[in-house]
Amino acid sequence: MEPVVQRDDRVERAYADGLTEPYVRFVERGRMHLRQGELILAEYYFELAATQSLFERPNYEVWLELAETKCRLMRLKEGFDLLNDFDAALEVEFGEALCFAAGGAGNCGI
């Protein structure tokens, strides 16, 4: 049986992984609300997490859970659009596509 992890330990590990405490907290709350079927609150916290700036870590990983939430809210177009954006972000991260900033320069950070 795996030992219970203290919240402080998870936050410390999150910092080591390039995540911030607010990001971890928002994702945890979003997941809790998603499990409880509180979809509006889940969407709110996942969207907050997606706005966080992370150091050398993509902040689009939460888009999958946000897309699931939007689909469960029957906002299918928003959910599928987000999945398409997620797919495009992965292509950029793995060098399969270029991301152009508004000025048309280089590979922008997603």
For residue 54, being part of any structural domain is answered with yes
For residue 87, being part of any structural domain is answered with no
Q: pLDDT tier at 97 (50, 70, 90 boundaries)?
A: confident
For residue 1, being part of any structural domain is answered with no
What is the helix (H) or strand (E) element at residue 63, kind and residue range?
helix 63-72
For residue 27, being part of any structural domain is answered with yes
Please report where in the chains the tokens 């809790």 appear, as a residue: 32
For residue 109, being part of any structural domain is answered with no
Contact 65, 59 (CB under 8 A): no
Which pLDDT does position 5 carry in this prediction? 39
For residue 17, being part of any structural domain is answered with yes
Rounded CA gap, 90 and 93, in Å? 5
Residue (of 50, 20, 46, 53) closest to 32 by Cα position: 46
Q: Which residue range(s) make up the domain with 32?
A: 7-77
Q: How many domains does the chain have?
A: 1
For residue 97, being part of any structural domain is answered with no
Q: CB count, 10 Å around CB of 36? A: 10
pTM above 0.85, yes or no: no
pLDDT digits (tens, 9 = 90+) for 2-53: 444 345 566 666 666 778 889 999 999 999 999 999 999 999 999 999 988 8
